[in-house]
Amino acid sequence: MTSTFDLVLAGGRIVTPGGITEADIGITGGRITAIGDVSGAAAERLDVGGLHVLPGVIDSQVHFREPGLEHKEDITHGTRSAIKGGVTSIFEMPNTSPLTLDERTLCDKLDRSARGAWCDYAFFMGGNHENAHRLSDLERLPGCAGVKIFMGSSTGTLLAKDDEVIAAVLANGSRRVSVHAEDEDRLVERQPIAVDAEGPEAHPDWRDVESAVRATRRLLALARAANRRVHVLHISTRDEMEILAAHKDLATVEVTLNHLTMTAPECYERLGAFAQMNPPVRDEHHRLGLWEAIRTGVVDVIGSDHAPHTVEEKERPYPSSPSGMPGVQTSLPLLLDHVHRGRLTLERLVDLTAAGPQRIFGIIGKGRIAVGYDADLAVVDLAARREITDEWIASKCGWTPFDGTMVTGWPVATILRGHVVMRDDEVLGTPSGQPVRFFDTSPTRPAT
């Protein structure tokens, strides 16, 4: 019997769990229903001969600033930026205004996303002293990506710097907890370094290696005592990677393209505060240490830590200039360029951006090209040589620290649950994002 498909991607080289193979992909009802020599009628047929087809990127760390800080970014602009960069799902952080700490604030973000998100989405629940006792229930709400702890440099009461608070958060619940690990007491102690500095070149001195190492060691000890899995975000030092390698039974590890691609002091001399983020971009010794951790398998995920600010805010004198930079749109082009330069394979790229997040967070139906999975796909041209520019960026902030960077490898189409939502840099259709589903969450949304 001949099948009828909604969409067929024909003739591409697809990156599957079994390797890279030339095959067609048949899509029906938003899911992959056939892989191979796909025959039969199709409402739409997309010729991807000469191109590679990857699972859509799952960016598990973004800050879309809504509600409260929409002058920097919002859900619509942020998810549109994601789609242009081959990202089909995002997990957004809780340090908005108000903070995401309960059912009401989570449901508000879900409602906003239902009206304007271009890609699929989930939201982290912040963990602090106020809600630690409720996190077992809160982390299971539909649309919740899990719990996020800020050990350093957070917004208002979201800061959880004391061991007692962190232990209370870890004691309540069972899902993996994501953590920003910088030691707040050491940051406060060393803040005069930043105050007395002439510019952001001092940022990695103020927020030094020891502030990261100390927090990561504390976190691992507390997680071990609580027997709770943790996911340590945006690791920036070689030292931490060596520590985390001894705790892979407990901790998974994220790095960002900023830390893998930029190097101090050059980036601060060239970009000033536009290269400023927390934890800081560090010197070549640490950058190479992160790549070694990718090579040896210590790193599980690459996230963007998309955290935009306006140009005017970034131009403030250091240290009043805010930390963070956009990245959800540029991650895949930069990664493809790293593949071109021989730093990782295409299969490892997929593991770090799709299969890794799926395993760590227990995502249903995403993260691989396989029959029965959501048809979330990024079609890429490995030979395309393109320039990343501010003009290409769809983020509300309108800039990227990689403006003027030439890369080899580019996303030429994005498919979200079987619909072509980006082709040749043009975003198509209307916002159609849906909540990401997880194995460890409730299937129904609570009444509000």
For 297: left if phi > 0, alpha if psi spans -120 to 50, otherwise beta; the answer is: left
Q: Kindly tell me the burial class for residue 310, based on how many C-beta atoms sit within 10 Å of its own C-beta (0-12, 13-18, 19 or more).
A: middle
Measured distance CA(101)–CA(354) in Å, rounded: 27
Measured distance CA(410)–CA(403) in Å, rounded: 15
Q: How many CB atoms lie within 10 A of CB 346?
A: 18
In this structure, the dihedral spanned by the alpha carbons of residues 12, 260, 181 and 67, taken in order and rounded to 10 degrees, is -60
Measured distance CA(138)–CA(103) in Å, rounded: 7
Q: Are 358 and 58 in contact (CB under 8 A)?
A: yes
Structural Rg of the chain based on CA atoms? 21
Positive or negative: CA dihedral 327, 329, 335, 338: negative
108 catalytic, yes or no?
no
Closest CA to 6 of 54, 49, 45: 45
Q: Respond yes or no on whether the N-terminal peptide bond of residue 326 is cis (omega within 30° of 0).
A: no
Q: Respond yes or no on whether the N-terminal peptide bond of residue 265 is cis (omega within 30° of 0).
A: yes
Q: Respond yes or no on whether the N-terminal peptide bond of residue 279 is cis (omega within 30° of 0).
A: yes
Please pick, among 305, 337, 374, 381, the residue that the annotation labels catalytic.
305
Residue type, 191: Q
Residues noted as catalytic: 305
